[in-house]
């Protein structure tokens, strides 16, 4: 059945996925093709093949041509992402009980048993390798007043800071002498002999937590909507994220296969094969899911940035490493 044979419905809200409408210009590939059109706002554009004929928005409505525009999930901006949310959506404050706060990135599924899991950064859920499996994960994070656990730490990819106990006998001897002297002087400080491996490389800052109850979490990313599937980043790709601190922000992919040194508050780690976008985050946005703006597919996981750029790990290696899917 063709679109023209289906009588239009009484209201544009009668069509699935429609969240609003209004008068505007009809655009095609950025060019104005009609000065006056009925602009139909949808959460997510879908290919015609994915819709039955009755659900296709007509080419004209109310004597005006229609133009379909994707706008995502519309929410009141008064909503505070640092509050307690039940159920909690991706995009709000979360964190290991011993850190300040980061962002709940996405609700994913285990490829092992199909269970729902919370995806964020290692430094958000696993306290930069310092956490123990089974530790409490708070929503909101402790900095935002969180006291109630929403999940427990299930798994994480360790961050290699290029440091570890050294086997150098001379360094160990100096450390023992220094600690013995400190003890005699009544000082509590101690030293440890460690090595620094400048060649240490990382590919992701990622971890997952298991909700205490599936009813405590939901899939729709706050301010964006349902993210389904993945895609690789490409130069110039329009992207969007939803984070605890800055909410929904957009940007463009500016650098691929980047090698960057990231400061973790006194110690550094080198990351390779990373994605760099234009500035779209602030502290507390760590863990946000990077999403392609035109088709709402996962691209990466935000974990660092400056006042000029934001750094993300590609999503596919994260899914493979943690045995999860979106």
d(CA 141, CA 82): 8
Mean pLDDT, residues 215-241: 96
Digit-coded pLDDT (tens) for 119-144: 999 999 999 999 999 999 999 999 99
pLDDT at 23 over 70: yes
Helix, strand, or coil (residue 155):
strand
What's the pLDDT score for residue 17? 84
Domains in the chain: boundaries: 3-70, 163-196, 238-320
pLDDT over 70 for what percent of the chain? Answer: 84
Q: How far apart are CA 147 and CA 140, in angstroms?
A: 8
Tokens of 226: 């349902």
Q: What is the pLDDT of residues 174-202, one digit of tens each?
A: 556 656 655 665 655 454 544 456 678 99
Per-residue pLDDT reduced to its tens digit, 262-300: 999 989 999 999 999 999 999 999 999 999 999 999 999
Query: Phi first, then psi: what are they for 176, rounded to 5°?
Result: -65, -40
**What pLDDT, on a 0 to 100 scale, did the predictor assign at position 194?**
44
10/201: higher pLDDT: 201
pLDDT of residue 120: 98
Confidence of residue 150 (pLDDT cuts 50, 70, 90): very high
How much is the pTM?
0.72
pLDDT of residue 1: 36
Instruction: Give residue 47's pLDDT.
Output: 82
* Greatest alpha-carbon span in the chain: 92
- Which is more confident, 93 or 19? 93
Q: Which class is 238-320 in CATH?
A: mainly beta
Of the listed ranges 39-48, 189-198, 245-254, 314-323, the one predicted with least confidence? 189-198
Beta bridge partners of 236: none
Greater confidence, 51 or 168? 51
- List pLDDT tens digits, range 70-114: 887 665 554 699 999 999 999 999 999 999 999 999 999 999 999
Q: Sheet of 106-110: strands edge to edge?
A: 102-103, 93-96, 136-138, 149-156, 207-211, 116-120, 106-110, 324-325
pLDDT computed for residue 171 by the predictor: 52
Residue 213 pLDDT more than 90?
yes
């Amino acid at each position: 059945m063709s679109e023209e044979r289906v009588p239009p419905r009484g209201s544009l809200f009668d069509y699935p996925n429609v969240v609003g409408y209004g008068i505007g210009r009809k655009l095609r590939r950025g060019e104005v093709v009609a000065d006056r059109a009925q602009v139909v706002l949808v959460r997510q554009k879908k290919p015609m093949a994915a819709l039955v004929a009755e659900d296709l928005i007509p080419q004209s409505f109310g004597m005006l041509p229609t133009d379909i525009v994707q706008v995502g999930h519309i929410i009141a901006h008064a909503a505070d992402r640092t509050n307690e949310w039940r159920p909690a959506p991706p995009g709000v404050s979360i964190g290991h009980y011993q850190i300040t706060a980061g962002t709940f990135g996405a609700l994913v599924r285990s490829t092992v048993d199909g269970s729902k899991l919370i995806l964020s950064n290692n430094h958000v859920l696993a306290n930069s390798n310092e956490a123990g499996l089974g530790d409490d994960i708070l929503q909101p994070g402790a900095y935002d007043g969180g006291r109630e656990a929403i999940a427990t730490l299930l798994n994480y990819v360790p961050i290699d800071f290029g440091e570890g106990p050294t086997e150098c006998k001379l360094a160990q001897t100096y450390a023992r002498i220094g600690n013995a002297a400190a003890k005699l002087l009544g000082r509590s400080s101690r030293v440890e002999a460690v090595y620094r491996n400048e060649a240490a490389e990382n590919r992701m800052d990622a971890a997952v937590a298991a909700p205490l109850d599936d009813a405590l979490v939901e899939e729709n990313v706050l301010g964006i909507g349902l993210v389904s599937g993945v895609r690789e980043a490409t130069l110039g790709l329009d992207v969007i994220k939803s984070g605890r601190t800055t909410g929904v922000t957009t940007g463009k992919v500016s650098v691929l296969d980047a090698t960057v040194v990231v400061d973790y508050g006194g110690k550094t780690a080198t990351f390779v094969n990373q994605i760099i976008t234009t500035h779209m985050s602030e502290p507390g946005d760590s863990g946000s899911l990077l999403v392609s703006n035109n088709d709402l597919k996962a691209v990466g996981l935000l974990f660092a940035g400056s006042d000029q750029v934001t750094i993300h790990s590609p999503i596919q290696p994260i899914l493979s490493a943690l045995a999860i899917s979106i």
